[in-house]
Structure 1
Amino acid sequence: MLLVRPPGVYRAQEDTSLLRQVLRRRGRRGLVEGRSVLDIGSGTGALGIEAFRAGAADLTAIDLSRRSVLTSWLNSRLHGIPATVRRGDLFSPVNPHRFDLVLANPPYVPTADRPPSRHRMARCWDAGPDGRVLLDRICAGAPSALDEDGTLLVVQSGIAGEQATLDRCEEAGLVAETVARARIPFGPVLRARVPELRTRGLLGPDQVEEELVVIEARHG
């Protein structure tokens, strides 16, 4: 997929690709076609564009970064998609509107910074001491953004706690399950943090790969 990506905007990587694969499978099974889609933390807009290609009826994209908002808007237009793109914090720009499908590829890399910086490129991946600063907020806020038969799809690293996401979704009244997995070598960010993460018990002593997971959640 051809995407414009200015400096400071998160590049679509393996986590984006894994969630795009899930969207393609869902599209073939008719679970995306005709649906309203919300892309949270849209970055380049890759996930929303994939959903539209899979048959989504309309697309709304949200990002806190001004550069990402502009990039999502530009890429959607380059692909002929009339997306609505808004700047804001998670679900706040669209409350109380509800959607059939909510997509999220949030920052999830543990960092010692409290809170993660909003003014450096690291904001695209840093997510607090346990990597859950945004994951927990997405799980808590998703029920109010989903239609009665709506679906949340969120991708994350297992380092940030796969079971914790399942638990937070269920605490919010959603039925959650892991629907896709992929193992990849550590990227530059994780490689630089290996000693710290091993000391904190977030990585095994011989671990050189992380597991990416896609979690699906629906109203119970």
Structure 2
Amino acid sequence: MPGYLGGVKPLVPPGVYTPQEDTALLADALSEEPLPPGADVLDVGTGTGALALEAARRGNRVTAVDVSWRAVWAARVNAWLAGVPVRVRHGNLFAPVRGLRFDLILANPPYVPAPPGSAQPRGTARAWDAGRDGRLVLDRICRESPALLRPGGVLLVVHSALSDPDRTLQRLRASGLKATVTRRCRIAFGPVLRERERWLRERGLLSAAEDKEELVVVRAELPL
């Protein structure tokens, strides 16, 4: 159910993204990812910390990062309430963890295309607005994440088919990673997509018959 992971409803203060179907899809991928004991895991754009908590419950050493101070404090409180250790840092994407290496990186970035002239995203909108092609943050993840992976390390990133999964695969492969789509699901349009539906259809990102959004999880591994 959206908003719940591990049977616990997280604290979600105003302006912080509520865990939804994309979070749950990425959590499913996390649950099946084999990790060495005490693996180092990074959850970038952690929001409430829901995915970081899922990783910490498995005994991993977890670092979570978010650009929003409200999200940072929410993640810290949720980790405390769940009784699991998570190191939560404030900063823009990978900036707070430069020079570190991880066995697994989790990313649920903003990925919804935004019409030209849209206001600079603020508050909760920073969790979904991602420029005209939906790749404002995705391309940075594809470019910067390989340097933070240990050999054999894995990136799991979830995003919408509206933001071009093939481009994600191409960019990750160009960086030397083995990348593939491992999960797909279709969900009803949420409020943001309903508001932008006409524009998305005019751009050809949605066909006239499409009435659901497809989400994908891309898994990319740095070869040993």
TM-score with structure 1 length normalisation? 0.94
Question: How much has 1:146 moved relative to structure 2?
Answer: 0.6
Query: Which residue identity is paired with 1:20?
Result: A
Q: What do the CA deviations read for 1:148-170 (whole angstroms, capped 9, x no partner)?
A: 11100000011111111101111
Q: Distance in 2 between matches of 1:140 and 1:39?
A: 17
Report 1:16-35 matches (<5 A).
16-26=23-33, 30-31=34-35, 33-35=37-39
Residues 116, 127 of structure 1: 8 Å contact kept = no
Q: Distance in 2 between matches of 1:115 and 1:134?
A: 16
- Alignment equivalent of 2:171, drawn from 168, 171, 178: 168
- Alignment equivalent of 1:147, drawn from 121, 142, 150: 150
Residues 23, 32 of structure 1: 8 Å contact kept = no
Aligned-residue sequence identity (percent) comes to 49
Match of 2:110 in 1: 107
Query: Residues 85 and 116 (structure 1 numbering): CA distance in 2 closer, same or farther, change over 3 Å?
Result: farther
Tell me the secondary structure at the aligned position of residue 217 of structure 2.
Answer: strand
Residues 57, 84 of structure 2: 8 Å contact kept = no
Q: What do the CA deviations read for 1:105-140 (whole angstroms, capped 9, x no partner)?
A: 000000025686243321110000000000010011
- Alignment equivalent of 2:15, drawn from 8, 19, 30: 8
Query: Residues 4 and 172 (structure 1 numbering): CA distance in 2 closer, same or farther, change over 3 Å?
Result: same
Q: Distance in 2 between matches of 1:75 and 1:159?
A: 31
Q: Distance in 2 between matches of 1:185 and 1:144?
A: 36
Q: What do the CA deviations read for 1:13-68 (whole angstroms, capped 9, x no partner)?
A: 00000011111222xxx436421100000000001111122332x11000000100
Match of 1:55 in 2: 59
Match of 1:71 in 2: 74
Query: Which residue identity is paired with 1:9?
Result: V
Q: Does 1:38 align with 2:42?
A: yes
Question: How much has 1:175 moved relative to structure 2?
Answer: 1.0
Residues 113, 163 of structure 2: 8 Å contact kept = yes
Q: Distance in 2 between matches of 1:8 and 1:116?
A: 16
RMSD of aligned residue pairs (Cα, Å): 1.4
TM-score with structure 2 length normalisation? 0.92
Tell me the secondary structure at the aligned position of residue 51 of structure 1.
Answer: helix
Q: Distance in 2 between matches of 1:66 and 1:31?
A: 30
Q: More deviation in 114-123 or 9-18?
A: 114-123
Residues 3, 46 of structure 1: 8 Å contact kept = yes
Q: Which segments of 5 or more consecutive residues in structure 2 lack a partner in the other structure?
A: 1-7
Q: Which segments of 5 or more consecutive residues in structure 1 lack a partner in the other structure?
A: none
**After the TM superposition, which segments of 4 or more aligned residues of structure 1 sit over 4 Å from their partners?**
113-116
Residues 42, 62 of structure 1: 8 Å contact kept = yes
Q: Does 1:179 align with 2:182?
A: yes
Match of 1:196 in 2: 199
Q: Distance in 2 between matches of 1:54 and 1:18?
A: 17
Q: More deviation in 32-41 or 172-181?
A: 32-41
Question: How much has 1:76 moved relative to structure 2?
Answer: 0.9
